[in-house]
Every structure is written in structure tokens, then in C-alpha cells.
Chain A
Amino acid sequence: MSGKRVTFKNLWLAILLILPQLFLVFTFFYWPAGEALYWAFTLEPPFGGEQQWVGWQNFETVFADPLYWNSVKRSLLFAFSSTALAMGIGLLLASFVDRQLAGYKVYRFIYFWPYAVAAPAVGLAFRFIFAPDAGFVSAINVWFPGLWNPALDGFDAMVLIVLANAWSMVAYNFIFFLAGLQSIPRSLVEAGAMDGAGAVRRMRDLQLPLIAPTFFFLIVINITDSFVNSFGIVDITTGGGPARATDLMVFKIYSDGFKGKDYSLAAAQSLVLMLMVCALTFIQFRFVERRVHYS
């Protein structure tokens, strides 16, 4: 960490300044994390009383449950497909906006709007648009009766939430890809042109490799965000159904913990999810940041 050449030495003031932040972080981050750890290894007796230490039992219950593995599988499917979709479209739009043809500022301005829309609002909008008997997509069912019904067909439901999530994430990816492309020195692209590379060639040989850091950064952010956003979307559109086809991890934790009131089971699941997200971030710091250079 690069620091300042000259600093202040007033220790008490320094601590006083950082104290509010430390209090909040301790109360709402570290303590709960510790508490989750405690719960995950204890059980509340059915007839009340002290929490009892049960070791790995909660985890065993969780891992033995096919419904849990179902939610892991669905979450990963959701995360990867919406990430691929959002990043692909974001990159495509950014690279074309970066050509700076007439009117590119208008696109740049409007492409960002979806980012402002709350996940449950996206959910509700997409629920209407993709409803089987009203809205926009339902027209399909007029021509091919029964082809599209996310309320009954698990695959359709997954498509629905993936599209909703991808739609709301495209804007974010677009902005970062565009910033990455624009941070490439103009002279470099011009040198490529002098070397005889056409626009498409330059994109493939010069610009894409140079925004590799942005690319890896966005993968991690997108996957993390897909866990975060998923609750609002799933809760409003499918409610985890049909037949648990969209029972994503955060949603399952919520329904087990707060609807089913089984905190120990929810805590064990939370812990696994927290470890997964931490591992992702760790991979980003450890491997990606080191391998690719920001210039």
C-alpha cells in the first residue's frame, strides 16, 4: 500500500476518526459472521433451551439433501449463463460504441439506464413481458399453443430469470468494457492501423488482450452479483418454482431460515455460500490481479 510521505501523528484522533466505521463493521459484519459460524455447528433443541454443539451435523444434513444440491446446480447454471450473456452483450456494445461513429454518445447515455432498476422491479417487469397469457412474449403461444409457460415449465422459468438478470447487468458490463477500451492509448490503436490491421483485426489482436484485466474483474463481479440480485428476481417472478427449478441458493437460505425458521440449517448454507463468494474474490486477487497488468 503506497502511503503518504508526510502524515499526522495524532494517534487518538486517528482512532476516533475510524471508530464509527469499525463499530459498524464489527457489529454488522464480523459479529454476524462469527454468529453464523456458531449456529452452523449448533442446534436448538426442539423444546427450547441452550444451543447444543453438534459438530458437522448441520453440514452433513445440508450436503445429504438433494434439494440443496439442486439449488447449487441451479445457482451455478443461473450465474454462468447470465454472466456469459451480460458480458457478451456488454462487450459487443462497448466495442462498437468505442468506434465513436456519429451518435455514439446517445448510445452510451441510454445503455446505462437498466442499471438503475431494482432487481425486484426487473423481476416484475419481466414477469409481465414473459407471462404465458398476457404481455409481450405470449404472442408465441398464439402461434404455437403451449410452447412458452414459465409457470409450469422449469426450463422456461430459468430462461426467464436468466434474461431478467442479464438485462439488468448488461449496463454495468458495458460501462466497464467501454472504460477499459477507452483507457487504451489512441496511439496504440493507430500504430496497429499503420501496421495494416483492420478494425476487426485490431479488436482481436490489440484491444481484447489489453482489456483482459477488465474481463476477469467483471467475471467475478457478475457471478457475485448474480447471487445478490437473484433473490429479488426469483422472489417476484417464480418464487423458486416450478418444482424448485429456480430455487437458487440465496432464495433457499431465505426460505429455510425465515420461512422455515431453521436457523442452523440456513447458517450452514450461508457459510458455504460465503466461502464460495470469498473464494471467488480470493481467486481474483491472488491469480488474476497478478497475472494481468494494468497499465
Chain B
Amino acid sequence: MADILIRSVVKSYGRTKVVHGIDLDILHGDFVVILGPSGCGKSTLLRMIAGLEEIDAGEIAIAGRVVNELEPRERGCAMVFQNYALYPHMSVAENIGYSLKIMGIRKVERLERVTAVARIVGLEEFLDRRPAQLSGGQRQRVAMARAMIKEPQVFLFDEPLSNLDAKLRVQMRIEIRRLHRRLGGTSVFVTHDQVEAMTLADKLVVMNAGRIEQVGTPKEVYHRPASLFVAGFIGSPPMNIMKVGSATPGLARLASGATLQMPWLDTVPESSLRLGIRPEDIELVAPGTPGAMEMPVEFVEELGAGHLVHGEFEGAEFVVALPGAIEVVAGGRLHMCFPTEALHMFDAVSGLRLDGGEKASGLSSGAVREFA
């Protein structure tokens, strides 16, 4: 079974530490997506699994074997690169079959296997072409076929879709997912695109500044972000974050004085707090409703299916996502309330999520609307 076990892995370039001791278990058959902003160390982690970067400290084991000292070809991984990295002077067939050639597999068998793989990705008619004669999507398929032909236990994807246009990206996303199910290996996919991450992942790993912020299913990560960073990174537009002026058990008071019910808040921590709410979780109420909060509307972004209302609230930029049926105009006022179960509370210093554990887990009652 091709489990990948990562234990306290560290990587530095000179004096800059880029990966600060990562632990992660990737189980056989999983489709794991590592998501994070550029420079967070996600590609470095992937390349350490592949064997393209040295591991400075810690251990990586693939299928029960520590691979720290193994050459890339000895690890049983295949990789799809961001810019495809096809050999420009070789035909599609030669590109796909090159690793078999190196293994010393005979031409007849090679051709058979190349044709078989090419059929899966729909490239049969292009086997004699050069990479330069292919479209972006086709090149992407060649790169995938090249990875598949070795029948690896582990597929590594390094932002493979970021060079494609938006439409093709959606299509390839679905194909990658389909191939994963069909081939049944373990896949590790690195991206900075959260939609890609959410739609592909069985298990989502959010990284920031060389550390793992959260591991969970896309749903868990979206609905229960483990830290301020995840809350701000996942979701488009991102979660609104408000300063908490003071808090008492069961109650949080915003800086402006508005109070919010926090039934699960039993003990109030010493440090300052932040409250978060997703733009799409905010509800509109009639003016004058008790507890209603007011926000002047600065401008409205039309999205077709809905719109994003921008304004200032609690001294910071604030976004409310509304369905298309509701009319809002710039210069007007928005009366809104925050459902208790949609509020996320964080420690401002550590950035970590604070909540009542099980009590808050059933939140959001299906009111999630995606605007991405």
C-alpha cells in the first residue's frame, strides 16, 4: 500500500527555513491537495516527496520504505509539472515512452503500452507530433500520460493546471479526478487555486509560511477553519473579520457596541479576540429589527447569480454576498444580522480557532452559497 508518511520534515535554503518540521500522513488511494499562497513551501514539500530536493531533517516514507536517500526513479513516483516539461525534440510517443526506454523495455512492448496510455487520455492520433504542435490541453495530457505509463504508486502534481485557460482548467480538473479513481494510486496535488483544491481533494492540506495550518476534508476546512489564516485564505470573497471589544460568558461585544450571542462561550480567554463571518452567511433583516446592524453600501459588484455588497463595518472593509433577487444600490444602507451558528471565533494572538467543540459543529444549516 502506497501510504506516504511525512515526519518532522525540515528544509532550508541557506539560512532561510522554508519548511518548518511538517508531519503528514497520506493514505493509499487518497487524493490529497496541498493548498497555500506562493512561497508557503508546498512545492518544496512535493519535490521532497519526489526526490528532487534534499530533505534536511526528518523522514519521508513511501509504502513503508524510508526514501530520504533514494534517487527519484527509485521512489515509485511520477510527476506532472506546471510547464509540462515535455522533451521538445521528441515526438509525443517518445515523450511518453522515454522512461520505459530507460528501463530497457523492448520497443514492441513500449509501443503497446504507449498506445494503451495514449488511448486513456485521448492522444492516439497525436503520437507522431512534436510538443510544439500541440495545444496547451494536449500537452497537459501528454504530461499525464508520461506519468501514468510507469504505473506509479504515487502521482505528484505540481500546479499542473495553472498554465491553462479557465475553461480547459475545469475540464482537466474533472479528468484528473476521473483518472485518479480509475488508476487507484495515491495522488498529491499542489495548487494555489482554492476552487481547484476544494473540487479535487479528498483531503485538503492548507499550508502557510512553511507550516501546515489545517488538514481536513474540503468541507471541514471551509466550515471550520482552524485559524485566522485559513479563514482568510479559503472562500471567495474571504471571510469578514471583526475585532471583539469585550466578551463575557455567552456574549461578545464588538468595538462599536453591538452585542452578539455566543451561547457556547463559557470561559473568556485573556487575549484579544476576533470574530469572523462569511459574506454568504450574513442575513438581511427589516430595518428596526432588534439586534440588527447597519452598514452603508459603498458599491455593488454584480456576479450574475448574485452580487457582492461592499461597505465599511466596524472600521474595516466588509463584504456581504446576496442572491440576485435582492436589489441593493450604492449609497443605500444594509440592515443585517449574523446567525450565531455562522460566527467563527479566533484568538487574535495565536490566530487559532476558539469554539465550543461539538456545539458549533452543526453550523450553517445548508445556507452556503458559492459565488466563486
Tell me if A243 counts as interface (CB < 8 A to partner B): no
Chain A residues within an 8 Å CB radius of B52: 5-6
C-alpha spacing A5/B44, complex, angstroms = 11
A5 partner residues in chain B, CB cutoff 8 A: 52
Interface residues of B in 35-71 (CB under 8 A from A): 52-53
Chain B residue with the shortest CB-CB distance to A5: B52
* Separation of A202 and B53 alpha carbons in the complex (Å): 50
* Residues of A with C-beta under 8 A to B53: 6
Shortest CB distance A9–B (Å): 10
Bound state CA distance, A171 and B336, in angstroms? Answer: 76
* Docked pose: A5 CA to B52 CA in angstroms: 9
Main secondary structure of the interface of A (DSSP, over half): loop
3 tightest Cβ-Cβ pairs between the two chains A and B = A6-B52, A6-B53, A5-B52
Please measure, in the bound complex, the distance between the C-alpha atom of A6 and the C-alpha atom of B43, giving whole angstroms: 14
3 A-B residue pairs with Cβ-Cβ distance under 8 Å, sorted by A, are A5-B52, A6-B52, A6-B53
Separation in Å of the B70 CB from the closest CB of chain A?
Answer: 13
Residues of B contacting A6 with CB < 8 Å?
A: 52-53
Residue of A nearest to B72 (CB): A6
Residue of B nearest to A6 (CB): B52
Report B74-95 CB contacts with A as 1/0, cut-off 8 Å: 0000000000000000000000
Q: How many A-B residue pairs have CB under 8 A?
A: 3
- Give Cα distance in the complex from A231 to B52, angstroms: 53
Give Cα A6 to B72, complex, Å: 12
What CA separation (Å) do A235 and B139 show in the bound complex?
60
Main secondary structure of the interface of B (DSSP, over half): loop
* Contacting residues of chain B (3-60) with chain A, CB-CB under 8 angstroms: 52-53
Please report A residues at the B interface, Cβ cutoff 8 Å.
Answer: 5-6
Q: How far is the CA of A250 from the CA of B330 in the complex (A)?
A: 82
Docked pose: A6 CA to B52 CA in angstroms = 7
Contact with A along B259-303 (1 / 0, CB 8 A): 000000000000000000000000000000000000000000000
**A5 and B43 alpha carbons, distance in the complex (Å):** 13
Question: Given the complex of chains A and B, what is the CA–CA distance between A6 and B50 in angstroms?
Answer: 12
CA distance in complex: A6, B44 (Å)? 12
Q: How far is the CB of B68 from chain A (nearest CB, A)?
A: 15
The smallest C-beta distance from B49 to any residue of chain A, in angstroms, reads 14
**Bound-complex Cα distance A5 to B54 (A):** 11
A5 vs B47: C-alpha distance when bound (angstroms): 11
Cα A5 to Cα B53 in complex, Å, equals 9
> Considering the chains assembled together, what is the distance between the CA atoms of A5 and B48 in angstroms?
13
How far is B53's CA from A6's CA once the two chains are assembled, in angstroms? 7
Q: Which A residue sits closest to B51, measured CB to CB?
A: A6
Report how far A98 CA is from B134 CA in the complex, Å: 34
> How far is the CB of A239 from the nearest CB of chain B, in Å?
53
In the complex, A129→B53 CA distance in Å?
66
Q: How far is the CB of A199 from chain B (nearest CB, A)?
A: 37
A11: min CB distance to chain B, Å: 16
**In the complex the two chains form, what is the Cα distance from A208 to B223 in whole Å?**
60
- How far does the alpha carbon of A5 sit from the alpha carbon of B11 in the complex, in Å? 14
Write the nearest CB–CB distance from B47 to chain A, whole angstroms: 8
> In the complex, how many angstroms separate the beta carbon of A295 from the nearest chain B beta carbon?
24
CA distance A60 to B53 in the complex (A): 60
Who on chain A is nearest to B53 by CB? A6
* Complex Cα gap A66–B80 (Å): 72
B345 to A: closest C-beta gap in Å:
42
CA distance A6 to B48 in the complex (A): 12
Q: How far is the CA of A160 from the CA of B65 in the complex (A)?
A: 78
In the bound complex, how far is the Cα of B344 from the Cα of A267, in angstroms?
Answer: 83
- A171 CA to B2 CA in the complex, in Å? 64
> Which parts of B329-354 form the interface with A (CB within 8 Å)?
none
Complex-state Cα separation, A89 to B53, whole angstroms: 53
Bound Cα distance A51, B367 (Å): 98
| A273 to B53 alpha-carbon distance, docked (Å) | 48
* Closest CB in chain A relative to B292 CB, distance in Å: 54
B146 to chain A, nearest CB (A): 18
CA distance A85 to B257 in the complex (A): 82
B195, chain A: closest CB distance, angstroms? 28
Query: In angstroms, how far is the closest chain B Cβ from the Cβ of A145?
Result: 67
Kindly report which residue of chain A lies nearest to residue B52, judged by CB atoms. Answer: A6
Question: What is the bound-complex CA distance between A52 and B142, given in angstroms?
Answer: 72
* B16 shortest CB reach to chain A, Å: 15
Question: How many Å lie between the Cα of A6 and that of B54 in the bound state?
Answer: 10
Q: How many whole Å from A276's CB to the nearest CB in chain B? A: 40
**Bound complex: CA of A196 vs CA of B52, how far in Å?**
54
C-alpha spacing A5/B82, complex, angstroms:
15
A128 CB, nearest partner CB in chain B, Å: 49
Once bound together, how far apart are the Cα atoms of A129 and B205, in whole Å?
80
